[in-house]
Structure 1
């Protein structure tokens, strides 16, 4: 029974961890893409033309504006990654606490079972007989 509960607990913890992990992975991809874009924009001189993709259309954009947009996007992505890292740390800490609590409860349950089995094996102790009352 304890194994079933433990497996359910682990399943729930994995489910809780999967969302931030996948979100962080997506952000890491976006971060890499935007870093490459920033590097490419840095190679352009002031006479170069930049275009921005809006749906299916390319729209002309000032180079300074494109650089600023990419910089802001990088800042935002970096902040989100930090938030996900913090969330993952909190979830891992919570998971560890739940494991410790479960182990403690399991130990208490086993101790109670052993004590109960010991008392059931000696009916005279359960009734107060043979405790030095003469």
Structure 2
């Protein structure tokens, strides 16, 4: 019985850790989606500009003139990277959700086992 209680404590801690990891992953995905939206907005702005339009990039406290082709390539590369990161994060979230559910089921089964043992001790 004491061994089951220790296992229950360990499982509870493991479930809490998985849920914290899941929350962190969801927050990371939200940040990535915000970055993706910002870069899509920039991409849309670039498409409405003339080819000879002046594009400036903020580097620290300085604005540097940048070629439109280079700027478009940079934004496209960022969007590609962010898309891959979102997919990777989604896969991680799915894995964490599955792990969380498995731990939750295992925890419930162990709780039922402890309750049955306690009832048997009380009845016996």
TM-score category, normalised to shorter length = 0.7 to 0.9
Within the candidate set 65, 86, 100, 1:60 is matched to 65
The answer as to 2:117 corresponding to 1:112 is: yes
Larger Rg: 1
* 5+ long unaligned stretches in structure 2: none
More helix per residue: 1 or 2? 2
Q: In 1, Cα distance between the equivalents of 2:58 and 2:108?
A: 55
* 5+ long unaligned stretches in structure 1: 120-134
Runs of 4+ aligned residues of structure 1 deviating over 3 Å after TM superposition are: 5-14
Q: In 1, Cα distance between the equivalents of 2:29 and 2:64?
A: 30
Within the candidate set 49, 54, 67, 2:54 is matched to 49
Q: In 1, Cα distance between the equivalents of 2:12 and 2:117?
A: 22
- How large is the RMSD of aligned CA atoms in angstroms? 2.1
Give the corresponding residue for 1:21.
26
> Which is bigger in relative contact order (C-alpha 8 A, separation at least 6)?
2
Q: In 2, Cα distance between the equivalents of 1:94 and 1:9?
A: 10
Q: In 1, Cα distance between the equivalents of 2:104 and 2:19?
A: 13
Q: CA deviation at 1:65?
A: 0.6
Q: CA deviation at 1:10?
A: 5.8
Q: CA deviation at 1:9?
A: 6.1
